[in-house]
Amino acid sequence: MAKVRGTGFAAVNYPTGMHLGGDPTQSLIHMTPAGDFVCTMASVDLGQGLRTVLAQIAAETLGVPYESIVVETADTDTGPHCTGTFASRTTHRAGNAVVMAAAEARKAMLEVAGELLEASPEDLETDGAGNIHIKGVAEKSVSVGEVAGAAHFGYGKTIAGRGAYLKPPSPMDPETGECDPDSTQAHACTVVEVEVDTETGVVEVIDMKSVYEVGQQVNPDLVKGQIVGGSWMGIGHALYETTAPGYPAIDPAPVDFQNYLQPGAAEMPEVACEVLEYPAESGPYGGKGVGEMVTNGPIPAIVNAINNALDVRITQIPVTPEVVLRALDEKRAQAEG
Amino acid sequence: MEDKLIRLTVNGRDEAVVIRPLATLQDVLRDTLELTAVKSGCGQGGCGSCSVLVDGELRLSCLTLAERAEGAEVTTLEGLNETNAIVPLQQAFVENYAAQCGYCTAGMVVAAKALLDRNPAPSRDEIVEGLSGNLCRCTGFAPIVRAVQQAAQALSDTGEEAS
Amino acid sequence: MSMKELGVVGRNVGQRDLESHARGQTTYYEDVHYPRMLHLKMHRSAEPHANIVKVDTRKAAASPGVVCVLTHEDLPGKKVWNGLAAVGVGPEDEPVLAFDKVRWRGEPIVAVIAETPEAARAGAAKVEVEYDPLPGVFDVEEAISGSAPALTAHWPHNHYIYPDDHAASQIRFGDVEKGFAEADHIVEDKYQTSPIEQAPMETNGCIAKPGGDGRITVHTNTQAVHFARDNTAAILGLAPGKLRFLGGTVGGGFGGKVDVAVEPISVLAAMRTGRPVKFKYTREEEMQVSSTRSAWRLYIKDGVMNDGRIVARKITSYQDSGAYLRFSSYGSMKHAGHMPGPYTMPNVWVDARVVFTNRPPSSAMRGFGVMAASFAIELQMDKVAKTIGMDPWQLRLLNAYRNGDMRAHRKVNEDAAMVETIQAAARLAGHELPAEYQAMTSWDRKAS
Ligand code: FES
Ligand code: FES
């Protein structure tokens, strides 16, 4: 016997935001006397880059430099309510709240700028580089810093904004399940090639290619980071991970990384990915959530590839060597049948 | 068993610390010296988040008795920050997005430094092997491997050391 | 959607925390140092199902370095709780600290607070609990078979009861039996996922620090600071304003840090002792005590036409909730609402059940309810393709949902781009599609 190869793929969709909505996030933005902005949130950054993404969204709406935005997170004393970081909701929910807060702050900023330039706020535009000028008249310009100084020390005004995003709760009909569950859906399709050692039952993922459709990306590098990390976690889920290897028995019960197995760098193939952008109506600048769906395509794609390689029908995860060998035994028994 | 005074050099500074019986080097570094880049992802020797250099060798500080580090020269990730400039290895981590939550990162950078110190031009397999004691739950390892490859390249271009 | 030219949205501006991570300067919850900080360790159930006959904490309290011992009798507010009680999900079924009974191995019974982690661990080991073991049930279908003992009085048949006395979160769309009768093929299978640990590199933990003003600051790695604060206040019967929850960067979450498992008891210990108290899960606790991704068992039955159209899909699924509810009823609703995946079918029937077993309570993880659904559906699609001898790419494209389609939960589909995503993946993988499949779009259903 030998090593055999197979390919498999899977197509998945994933909802953005908590199921049925009702999960608010709020945002407060204010301008400092120096002309930068503090965006205060209670949302929590788990490493996905929330602070970066929200700063980008705030800068976009305010029309000021990205570098001039500070994002403060995770403090119940200062941050307005956020339901939490889960359900692929934060870019969408917090992002929308930031858009609203930033729009209100921008309005206040342009009002002060209008007084300084003796123009109506509607006739002003921002250049994204820290200046505000009269539309079409680049010389009639003030810097955001000058506006900040005037607002604080000249007019005694706040330049600030509040944002609150809520997808209203939609109950699920207990009989039919009728509901409005999500804000939008993101999509992915993952193609995998595996090599299976029919002697040992060991599966190696040798190639993984994915296409994702996540609406407008706020930060493509961070989207890619999620996709690559999720691809790896998908390999873990498909082939290794369980807290109950004898499920449903509660023993054995791994308590350390020697017995709770995960793939290492050696088990990680090159991951190719392509990202399509079909902006979502409800998303901040069309963004959808991507954080969770990234394991969902690789797992079935890997199992489909194993079944394809061996011409067997494995329907459980993790597909450990033992599961592979059992499937091969069954196939042999059937053939001899 | 009684508390004991030990002396060691940490990131170039002489330290004298009182240790409890069976205290680990991790306890001394994290709790006593407040070098919090030394993480504690498992305390079992299984994750590498507590990696440090002891006399230039890569060690898991959670499995190293503090007593055994008496007189040793210990380097934590903070030791790479002595100058304010970010070193090429750290810069490579930044440029390659080799961290998300960052919890594994200090251990990874230290393990990568140990590798590059003894093998300035590692192959991909040697990098994978050199980092095999360090887990990361976020990045999928690929960006980390790339970061170390880039750092090795940068070092060979400039002839500098890893830090 | 038409959009004005974007400036910084859509650009790669780096990731703000990376340099701080690479320099080891990011502050996580446990990177604050307080003098005279105490450490909390939990004495946990050694039995998966038992009556508690007696709890004796005297030896633990007398153990060197132990400052305080807390049992259910010390809880000033709730004895049982559920995190979603404030939004009307219930009943509250999970003891904060076990009293009459334990229902899973690892259930917290007594908290021991001491000067050092070692002293707390040694003290916790000296708690003596006398059990009267009960038969346990670990398999979801066995649990609801009628022959298994009921875990709690809330669920006489060991499954969650949805509104109007429904045993499952349901989808009823069209008439599946009629669809099966019309179908050329019936394709059925059973699918099983495993309990999986979120395994963030940083385990669950918090430090509760009493301030001079009567407030307590909690440094925590929760994924949801308000949720954790408000639940902690509710459990302890405190005015929420007494608590400040402070996060920062969290060392990975993946759904594993929403259980409010460490904060309430740490706050209580800090109130009792007047000193900062740290409670950090060991890796062992993270693996076997903190809630896992729920294991799911699914049965799928499809009615399929010779041309590849799936005309009926019936799904019965069992979410293994472990011993208590936590967020499982939400998870099964999300699971049911996701069916039948990114495909349009005229007849869909779903029963998604939450089942209680003597296993560690399960909860959310990256893709709650949906990961198991996608897993089973995408394996099922391959089986359908094989059964009728159709290219699996074409099968998916043919059935993929389009904009304007009615989903099984009766919402008209929008923002769909499944067709385009599959086509692009086929190109990336070098899989040739016939011209008519290449020409499909997510906007063509009404035209076809
Ligand atoms: S903490 Fe030392 S190896 Fe995990
Ligand atoms: S970046 Fe989170 S564990 Fe590596």
List, for residues C104-129, the tens digit of each pLDDT value.
999 999 999 999 999 999 999 999 99
| Mutation to probe ligand 2, out of B134, B136, B145 (largest number of atoms < 8 A from CB) | B136
Query: Amino acid identity of B151?
Result: A
All residues of chain C having their beta carbon less than 8 Å from the beta carbon of residue B43 are 282-283
- For chain A, the chains sharing at least 3 beta-carbon pairs closer than 8 angstroms are B, C
Mutation to test the C interface, candidates B105, B109, B150, most C Cβ within 10 Å: B105
| Contact criterion met (CB below 8 Å) for A89 and A17 | yes
A151 secondary structure, DSSP code:
I
- Mean predicted lDDT score pLDDT of chain C: 96
ipTM of the complex: 0.97
Q: Which two tokens stand for residue C100?
A: 């009459």
- pLDDT in the model for residue C394: 98
Residue C201, ligand 2, Cβ within 6 A: yes
Q: What are phi and psi of B127, to 5 degrees?
A: -65, -45
All residues of chain B having their beta carbon less than 8 Å from the beta carbon of residue A48 are 100
Which 54-113 residues of chain C touch chain B by CB within 8 A?
none
Smallest CA separation from ligand 2 atom 2, residue: B101
| Contact criterion met (CB below 8 Å) for C336 and C303 | no
Pick the CATH number of C163-196+291-394 from 3.30.365.10, 3.20.20.70, 3.30.450.40, 3.40.710.10: 3.30.365.10
CA of B137 to the centre of ligand 2 (A): 5
Question: Nearest C-alpha of chain A: how many angstroms from C138?
Answer: 6
| Contact criterion met (CB below 8 Å) for C392 and C381 | yes
Query: According to CATH, where is 1.10.150.120 located in chain B?
Result: 83-158
Residue spans of chain A under pLDDT 70: 1
Query: Measured in Å, how far apart are chain C's first and last C-alpha atoms?
Result: 24
- pLDDT in the model for residue C446: 57
Average pLDDT estimate for C164-172 = 97
Are C138 and A56 an interchain contact pair (Cβ–Cβ within 8 Å)?
A: no
Nearest Cα residue to C109 out of C120, C119, C124: C124
Strands C216-220 and A160-165: unpaired
- For chain B, the chains sharing at least 3 beta-carbon pairs closer than 8 angstroms are A, C
Q: Which two tokens stand for residue C244?
A: 């400040």
CA distances from C31 to B103, C24, C205, C247 (A): 12, 11, 12, 11
> Residue C317 above 50 pLDDT?
yes
Per-residue pLDDT band at C4 (split at 50, 70, 90):
low
* Identity of the residue in C23, C116, C251 whose CB atom sits nearest the CB atom of B103: C251
The strands making up A137-143's β-sheet, listed across from edge to edge, are A124-126, A131-134, A137-143
What domains are defined for chain A?
3-16+182-336 (3.30.365.10), 25-165 (3.30.365.10)
Average pLDDT estimate for C334-358 = 98
Which 187-226 residues of chain A touch chain C by CB within 8 A?
187-191, 209-213, 215-222, 225
> Residue C2 above 50 pLDDT?
no
CA distances from C210 to A88, A178, C183, C442 (A): 34, 48, 67, 57
| Mutation to probe ligand 1, out of B50, B54, B134, B137 (largest number of atoms < 8 A from CB) | B50
Is the Cβ of C117 closer than 8 Å to some Cβ of chain B? no
Using a CB cutoff of 8 Å and minimum separation of 24, what contacts does C117-120 make?
A: C117/C39, C117/C41, C118/B20, C118/B22, C118/C65, C119/C39, C119/C63, C119/C64, C119/C65, C119/C66, C120/C38, C120/C39, C120/C40, C120/C41, C120/C65, C120/C66
Q: How many CB pairs under 8 A join B and C?
A: 98
Distance, CA of C266 to CA of C96 (rounded, Å): 12
- In A, minimum Cα distance to C425 occurs at A211
Place of tokens 């099984």: C408
Mutation to test the B interface, candidates C18, C249, C283, C366, most B Cβ within 10 Å: C18
Measure the CA angle with vertex A71, ends A48 and C208; round to 5°.
80
- pLDDT in the model for residue C3: 52
Q: Which ligand is nearest to the CA of B58?
A: 1
Average pLDDT estimate for C44-50 = 98
Are B132 and A230 an interchain contact pair (Cβ–Cβ within 8 Å)?
A: no
- pLDDT in the model for residue C248: 85
- pLDDT in the model for residue B156: 86
Question: Percentage of residues in chain A with pLDDT exceeding 90?
Answer: 99
The atom number, within ligand 2, closest to the CA of C252 reads 2
| Mutation to probe ligand 1, out of B36, B38, B44, B64 (largest number of atoms < 8 A from CB) | B44
List, for residues A124-154, the tens digit of each pLDDT value.
999 999 999 999 998 999 999 999 999 999 9
All residues of chain A having their beta carbon less than 8 Å from the beta carbon of residue C222 are 44, 84
Question: Percentage of residues in chain C with pLDDT exceeding 90?
Answer: 96
Distance, CA of A299 to CA of A293 (rounded, Å): 11
List, for residues C238-263, the tens digit of each pLDDT value.
999 999 999 989 999 999 999 999 99
Q: How many CB pairs under 8 A join A and C?
A: 368
| Mutation to probe ligand 2, out of B42, B77, B97, B105 (largest number of atoms < 8 A from CB) | B105
Q: How many CB atoms lie within 10 A of CB A109?
A: 29
> Residue C339 above 90 pLDDT?
yes
| Contact criterion met (CB below 8 Å) for C327 and C87 | no
CA of A255 to the centre of ligand 2 (A): 20
- pLDDT in the model for residue B163: 56
Which 193-252 residues of chain C touch chain B by CB within 8 A?
199-203, 249-252
- pLDDT in the model for residue B161: 62
> Residue B160 above 70 pLDDT?
no
Query: According to CATH, where is 3.10.20.30 located in chain B?
Result: 4-80
Dihedral of the alpha carbons of A39, A40, A45, A48, in degrees to the nearest 10: -20
- Mean predicted lDDT score pLDDT of chain B: 94
Are A268 and B140 an interchain contact pair (Cβ–Cβ within 8 Å)?
A: yes
Mutation to test the A interface, candidates B96, B141, B149, most A Cβ within 10 Å: B141
* Identity of the residue in A82, A222, A243 whose CB atom sits nearest the CB atom of C288: A243
- pLDDT in the model for residue A159: 98
> Residue B162 above 90 pLDDT?
no
CA distances from B8 to A238, B14, B107 (A): 46, 6, 20
> Residue C447 above 60 pLDDT?
no
List, for residues A272-305, the tens digit of each pLDDT value.
999 999 999 999 999 999 999 999 999 999 999 9
B30 secondary structure, DSSP code:
I
- pLDDT in the model for residue C251: 97
Q: What are phi and psi of C373, to 5 degrees?
A: -65, -50
Strands C292-293 and A3-15: unpaired
Residue B147, ligand 2, Cβ within 6 A: no
CATH of segment(s) B83-158: 1.10.150.120
Average pLDDT estimate for C418-443 = 98
CATH class, B4-80 region? alpha beta
Distance, CA of A128 to CA of A151 (rounded, Å): 19
Rg of the Cα atoms in chain B: 16
Average pLDDT estimate for C88-95 = 94
* Identity of the residue in C87, C253, C341 whose CB atom sits nearest the CB atom of A85: C253
What element of type H or E holds A220?
helix A220-239
Residues lining ligand 1, Cβ inside 6 A: B 40-43, 45-50, 60, 62
CA of B46 to the centre of ligand 1 (A): 5
Average pLDDT estimate for C353-366 = 97
Smallest CA separation from ligand 1 atom 3, residue: B45
Q: Which two tokens stand for residue A42?
A: 């209670």
Distance, CA of A33 to CA of A150 (rounded, Å): 9
Q: What is the pTM of this model?
A: 0.97
> Residue C55 above 60 pLDDT?
yes
| Contact criterion met (CB below 8 Å) for C283 and C274 | no
Nearest Cα residue to A154 out of A163, A172, A142, A168: A142
Per-residue pLDDT band at C353 (split at 50, 70, 90):
very high
